[in-house]
Amino acid sequence: MFDKNVTKVVQDCILDSGIQAKVVAKKINKPYSTLMREINPFDVSAKLGAETLLEIMKVTHDIRPLKYMATEMGFNLDGCSA
């Protein structure tokens, strides 16, 4: 379909979490409609902030966005744990 980008990885993180996006939005104190715009890889006018990204990873317990960014920077986080 299209190349992966960090926004798509974050979108997948939420969609695969088993937690409804509306619940994620509530837990991170962000309006649902705003969150959905920010994680839409086709919406170029809405941007996902770093603080929001961190909160999404905390709520979903998914660090795929962090791993994706590390890989893009030439680093490998496989095998790392908290």
Distance between CA atoms of residues 3 and 56, nearest Å: 22
3 pLDDT more than 80: no
10 belongs to a structural domain: yes
12 belongs to a structural domain: yes
- The model's pTM is 0.88
Q: What is the pLDDT of residues 69-81, one digit of tens each?
A: 999 999 988 776 6
13 belongs to a structural domain: yes
77 belongs to a structural domain: no
What residues make up the domain containing 16?
6-72
Q: What is the pLDDT of residues 12-28, one digit of tens each?
A: 999 999 999 999 999 99
| CATH at 12 | 1.10.260
Count how many domains the chain has. 1
